[in-house]
Amino acid sequence: NLAGGSVVNCTNNAVITAESTNNVLHVGGIVGSARNKDNAAVLIDGAVNNGGIVVKAIAAESSDTYLGSGTNGGAVGGILGFVSDGSGAEIRRSINNAKITVTGGKDNIGGILGQTSTNENATYANIIYCANKGDITVYETEGERAAGIIGYIKGGKIQYCYNVADVIEYTDADGNNVARMGYGNYYGIFGYANLYGDN
């Protein structure tokens, strides 16, 4: 969890594998989650993720509930996973080249940012001059959203960004059945925007 501060001109080449049973798990190629410190937003500038991201939400034996089945599920992002309540993140001139694969759970997934918190209107993400080139593939998830730039955004802006990768969901673990309508939202730029004010 990055509390304030900056990550500038950093590159990740390592494959990230995360697995959890019935817990919220935030995963990012550069930063897992971010929150303000002394009212200062987190800055990520010039970051590159080349390492693949593999996230598995395993159902507990005593329950068929997956990761993040509460109001705020896990978040997976090629650069940043999650922005906490009332916090802000500036992501600039960053690129995700890595494939993102998520199996199970109730996650918001983005090539750049997975999601901002859903609870506080003061929560925001400004994503500027960013690109996603890594395919996003999800299996057996409980709906939610996946998109080339951000899965869920509460407030902020997306400017001068592009996605050239595929975003696809399968209802089974083998990749045989493409998800039918109602399983989630899957888009090229953003999955869902719960905006307020002039955002």
What average pLDDT does the segment 177-195 reach? 76
pLDDT for residue 182: 56
Comparing 64-78, 134-148, 182-196, the range with the smallest average pLDDT is 64-78
SS3 147: strand
pLDDT for residue 184: 64
Task: State how far the Cα of 105 lies from the Cα of 173, in Å rounded to an integer.
Answer: 12
Lookup: tokens for 192: 């869902």
Query: Where does the pLDDT of residue 62 fall: very low under 50, low under 70, confident under 90, or very high at 90 and above?
Result: very low
Tokens 């969901």 correspond to what residue? 169
**DSSP string over 75-104:** EEESSEEEE-TT-EEEEES-EE-S-EEEES
Say whether pLDDT at 63 is over 60: no
Say whether pLDDT at 38 is over 90: no
Max distance between CA atoms of the chain, in angstroms, equals: 49
What average pLDDT does the segment 44-66 reach? 77
Task: State how far the Cα of 189 lies from the Cα of 177, in Å rounded to an integer.
Answer: 23
What average pLDDT does the segment 126-142 reach? 93
Average per-residue pLDDT for the chain: 86
Task: State how far the Cα of 16 lies from the Cα of 25, in Å rounded to an integer.
Answer: 13
Q: Whole-prediction pTM value?
A: 0.89
Question: Between 182 and 146, whose confidence is greater?
Answer: 146
Question: Between 41 and 183, whose confidence is greater?
Answer: 41
Question: Between 14 and 106, whose confidence is greater?
Answer: 14
Phi and psi, residue 89, nearest 5°: -140, 135
pLDDT for residue 186: 78
Phi and psi, residue 110, nearest 5°: -140, 150
Per-residue model confidence as pLDDT tens digits over 80-94: 999 999 899 999 999
Question: 136: which residues sit within 8 A by CB, 6+ positions away?
Answer: 99, 100, 102, 109, 111, 146, 147, 148, 165, 166, 167, 168
Comparing 121-130, 143-152, 158-167, the range with the smallest average pLDDT is 143-152
Q: Which amino acid is at 142?
A: E
Query: Where does the pLDDT of residue 69 fall: very low under 50, low under 70, confident under 90, or very high at 90 and above?
Result: very low
Say whether pLDDT at 132 is over 80: yes
53: nearest Cα among 32, 23, 24: 32
